[in-house]
Amino acid sequence: MSDKVDAILKKSIDDVARDVPGYRSVLTRREAIAVARRVLALFPVTAAALFGSFARGEQTDKSDLDFLISFSPSARAGDVEDVRVALEYATGRGVDVVSTLDGQSRQFRDSATRDGVKILG
């Protein structure tokens, strides 16, 4: 599915969800961490941290979730994308995953680890 179609479907689902009694558009940091722990337990993840606006407690209803994730040596190349998609479905938010398997600089990973909220590991 194209990014445009995904965006349209996501927008439509979000618009419908807002009409449901009890719907809250702002996910709390505590809720995001609890959901992430359950999702990450299904994958070969050795450590994870939440960073960005959610870690700082500055999230809005439009904020995405940013995770730094360390995978075990048994991880497949596709696990990073699988984790991202699973977290998006579970949280209803856009998700960015920075992984020890990708080419991010060590300095960036160290910064995210230092400033992030530990989830696992």
CA distance 12 to 69: 30
Candidates 1.10.760.10, 2.102.10.10, 3.30.460.10, 2.60.40.10; CATH matching 3-120: 3.30.460.10
| The pLDDT of residue 12 is above 80 | no
Q: What percent of the chain has pLDDT over 70?
A: 67
Residues in the chain: 121
| The pLDDT of residue 109 is above 50 | yes
State which H helix or E strand residue 49 sits in: strand 45-51
| The pLDDT of residue 9 is above 70 | no
Residue listed under structure tokens 């809005």: 60
Tell me, what's the pLDDT at 96? 93
Model confidence band, residue 121 (pLDDT cutoffs 50, 70, 90): confident
- Are 59 and 53 in contact by the 8 Å Cβ rule? The answer is yes
CA distance 41 to 119: 11
Query: Both tokens of residue 113?
Result: 């680890």
- Tens digits of per-residue pLDDT, 15-62? 544 554 454 556 889 999 999 999 999 999 999 999 999 999 898 888
Q: Taking the domains of the chain in order of start, what are their residue ranges?
A: 3-120
